[in-house]
Amino acid sequence: MIGILPDFMKLNMRHDLEGFLWRHVMAYIPHTSKCGATGCGYDSFTASAINPACLECNGRGLVYNWHQVSLHVRPNWIDPAHNNVFAGVITADIGDAQFQAKIRDKALWEKIRDTEHAYVLMDGKKLHPESIADNSVEGLTTIDIRCHIISEAKP
């Protein structure tokens, strides 16, 4: 993709990679454990709580603990209402987002992608990564992440 861009655009991208459009977003990764309330627990046969009236787990049998992590990304909304840095260069559905992220965070992004209910919160929207691909630009390797919106969230 980069090879077809005029030189001035390569320079802009290089500049972007070095910093000023990067920002932090919070990722939330659930870790579930079996409900430990007295008389409750997880029934794997029914996939619900042993005590359906349990207030601790709301009858799910599982308790969610959310692991929060801050990630450094360069976001690009595929949405006319947001600033579309690569307008005309990438193809994606309206409402999706693409992140450029640090290669050092790749394993973390893969964990978010592979964990059910895990999401990234950005601009009041919950996003889940669909695909992760390496991206090398002039010796700098980053990863490109395609996300879809799960829901609007209240910050």
Find the binder of Zn ion among 40, 73, 122, 145 (CB under 5 A).
40
Find the binder of Zn ion among 54, 71, 112, 147 (CB under 5 A).
54
Nearer to Zn ion, 41 or 82 (CB): 41
Find the binder of Zn ion among 56, 96, 110, 144 (CB under 5 A).
56
Q: How far is the CB of 31 from Zn ion (least distance, A)?
A: 16
Length of the chain: 155
Nearer to Zn ion, 57 or 73 (CB): 57
* CA distance to 86, 146, 151, per residue, from 130 (Å): 19, 6, 15
For residues 67 and 27, is the Cβ–Cβ distance under 8 A? no
Q: How far is the CB of 44 from Zn ion (least distance, A)?
A: 14
Q: What angle do CA 99, 4, 22 make, to 5 degrees?
A: 25
Alpha-carbon torsion angle 121, 127, 128, 133, nearest 10: -100
Instruction: Please report, as ranges, the residues that interact with Zn ion according to CB under 5 A.
Output: 35, 37, 40, 49, 54, 56-57
